[in-house]
Structure formats: C-alpha cells, structure tokens
Amino acid sequence: MSWTSRELRGPLLRAAKAFSAVILTGPRRAGKTALLRRTFPRASYHLLEAPDIIGRVRADPRGWLEGITTPAILDEVQNVPELFAYVRALIDAAPSKRGRWLLTGSQDFALMRGVTESMAGRAAILQLLPLSARELGTFNFLRGGFPEVWARPSSSSLWFDSYVQTFLERDVRALRAVKDLSTFRRFLSLLASRHGTMLNRTELAAPLGVSVPTISEWLSVLETTGQIALLPPYFKNFGKRLVKSPRVFWLDSGLVCHLLGITTQAQLEASPFIGAVFEGFLAAEILKGQVNAGQRRELYTFRDERGLEIDFVVPGAGGRLRLVAAKWTKTVLPSHALPLTRLDAGPNAERLVVYRAARSGARATTVAPGVRAQSVEEFLGISEPN
C-alpha cells in the first residue's frame, strides 16, 4: 500500500502557521509520525523512546533542546513530560516564530496534563485517528483503519495480536491503572462483546471479579489511549426523561473483530455482532470526519425511558441536527424510519437511514416523509467496499 494522503494535513499546516507548537495526539500506530514527517520534510526528527535518549534529555533538557534544529518533531513526547516547561520557555523567548515545535503523543492524559500546565495558548492540539473510509476510498470491517494492516492485510491477525500485546505492555502499564494484565486482557474481550451497547459498569465488573471503580479506571485507559469512545446522550431541547448512560464503541472495526475472534467475512456476516460492528464503524467515521477537519468531536446518542432510540445525533451549523439510524440491511423498511419521525428535533433536522446497499436493482431514497435513505457508501462519499 502506497502512502495515503491524510485529510488532517490541511488543518495541520494551518495550525503550524498560527501557533508556535502543534501537538498531534491519537492512538498508537494511527500514523502520526508519518503524517508529520511527510507534511514537514525539513523538520529534524527526534524519537523520545529509547532509554538512552530519554536519559540524555532528562539529564540536561535545556541543553538538549538548544542543540537540535527547528522546526523539530518530538515524537512520543509523553515519555518526557518535563520537556514542556522548557519548550514553553523557548517559545516565550521568540513568540513570533511559528511552527517550530511539532509534538506527538499516544497517551492523551499525560500529554494534556503537560499542555494544561505549560503550553496553554501556545500550542494547537489536533487528533489523528486511524485511516478513514474517505481517505482509503473504500472500507473493510475486518481491516479497520490502521495503516499497517492495509499495507499487509495477509498478516492482519498477527498485527492485531502484536498491537494488543504492545498496548498492554506499554500504554496500560505507563498509565498505572492496571495491576492484573491477564484480567485486563479478558476485560478487552468482554468489552468487545458489549460493542455498541449502553454502558453498564456493574455488568462488566461481575464476571471479571473486579470492582466498578476498577472498570471505570480501565475504561478511562481505553478512552485516554484512543481505543474507545463513550457517546453521551443528547439532551438539549427535547424535554424527555432520558436514559443517561453512554453507549460504548470501539473506534476501529478491525480491532473489535479481532477481539471477538472474527477473522473472515463469512464469520462476520453470520455473527450476531454484525449490526454492532456496522454501527461502530459509522460512529468512528463520523468522529474521524470531525477531527480530520480540525473540529471538536460532537457525536451523541439518544434513548428515552419509553424506548425511543436514535443511533446517532450529530449537531451541525446553526443548531441543526442530523439524526442517523444505522441498519445493516439491504432492504429499507418504513419501520426503520419510525424512531426518526417520532423525535421532535426541529423543522430543520436531517433524518437519515444508512443501510447496506444491494449490488443490483434500484436503491431506496425516501423511507418516510422527511426521512431519506442512503447507502453507507453514499453517506461516506466512497466507492464500493473490497
């Protein structure tokens, strides 16, 4: 697989022209380093990961920084968070110089703590998620969006095995929220089986024999490292008794399929999780579209105590809402649109049923008054999947 142009490149360039520093966060192996090195080919590159490098930086952070040329890419900077204060001092010494410091980090918590304390107002913060369907021009649930999986699809199972192991050994231990890694590995598989459901921490804690606060800590680890998203309920202006629990989604369909033990398309098609995998894929694609445009992540779900449920609520310009129902079906029925019509989201709300397009025959366009149907390819603006 050749280099795939990333949609975040534009916002990244604009941020470098407006700020002295740019911080790029996101899951490990999402492509942060490759994006920075291709976008800023003349920048010096420094990986802050090897123990000897980290030792030299900590021994003399000011001297180390003054000895490198700028613009400079400081990769995995969360490993030496004490650098932030010294970078800040160099920025303050030359405030008119832009785009000198390009920082990456895979652990948002440690990184954001350093930004809050040292870099507020001096750095633009962007997030890179794995490849989107728009960037790839297609999609494949089993591959997901990690660039290395698309580069070597025949080795995808081994890659995901290694990714989970690396994640456990490095990110989880670095965040110090997990003492029993074997139980945490079981937690990952259990949470994969809850993909797309309302989050119930008690139901997750009981079979693992851990406490609810422990589950909350572990969920925080997964959120911090960009593995999952908890979609909160949308509550503005509806005046209803809402279910307050968020829905939990894994952000990479390939990873969740791997954790579920699904390795072939036939297994996926026959799996009871196919609907949840499809919903999670759409959720991730909506979020990728927002962060790739340099926008704030805004994606919600809706469910009230009477059972009215909308898969996704997406706020738009001028307060306009987009209501989305995700249906892994080739036959769109009026009943699929019923929840969308029952919710009073205002006269300008856009209501969509996103479905699996048939390979032949006419495609549905209108399901009910005010409700349109779009194939997943049309919704994302891409070609047919591989």
Name the domain boundary from 78, 112, 128: 128
Residues 103 and 13 grouped into a single domain: yes
Per-residue pLDDT of 55-87, as tens digits, reads 999 999 999 999 999 999 999 998 888 898 899
Residue 98, token pair as written in the block: 């832009």
Residues 102 and 194 grouped into a single domain: no
| Residue 171 binned pLDDT confidence (cut-offs 50, 70, 90) | confident
Dihedrals phi, psi of 201, to nearest 5 degrees: -65, -35
Q: What pLDDT shows up at residue 180?
A: 83
Q: What pLDDT shows up at residue 1?
A: 54
Percent of the chain with pLDDT over 70: 92
Q: Which domain holds residue 141?
A: 135-380
Dihedrals phi, psi of 312, to nearest 5 degrees: -140, 135
What pTM does this model have?
Answer: 0.92
Residues 261 and 143 grouped into a single domain: yes
Stretch 301-329: mean pLDDT, rounded? 90
What is the number of structural domains in the chain?
Answer: 2
Residue 4 inside a domain? The answer is: no
Pick from 210, 291, 205, 284: which is nearest to 250 by CA? Answer: 284
Name the domain boundary from 128, 151, 175: 128
The more confident residue out of 306 and 251 is 251
Residues 141 and 290 grouped into a single domain: yes
Checking if the pLDDT of 362 tops 70, the result is no
The residue to which tokens 């209803």 are assigned: 240
Q: What pLDDT shows up at residue 374?
A: 93
The more confident residue out of 116 and 320 is 320
Q: What pLDDT shows up at residue 106?
A: 77
Q: How many whole angstroms separate alpha carbon 111 and alpha carbon 93?
A: 22
Percent of the chain with pLDDT over 90: 69
Collapsing DSSP to helix, strand or coil, 125 comes out as strand
The residue to which tokens 């680890």 are assigned: 221
Per-residue pLDDT of 181-215, as tens digits, reads 899 999 999 999 999 999 999 999 999 999 999 99
CB neighbourhood size of 255 (10 A): 24
CATH number of the domain at 77, please: 3.40.50.300
The more confident residue out of 226 and 119 is 226
| Residue 17 binned pLDDT confidence (cut-offs 50, 70, 90) | very high
Q: Mean pLDDT: which of 200-209, 236-245, 326-335 is highest? A: 200-209
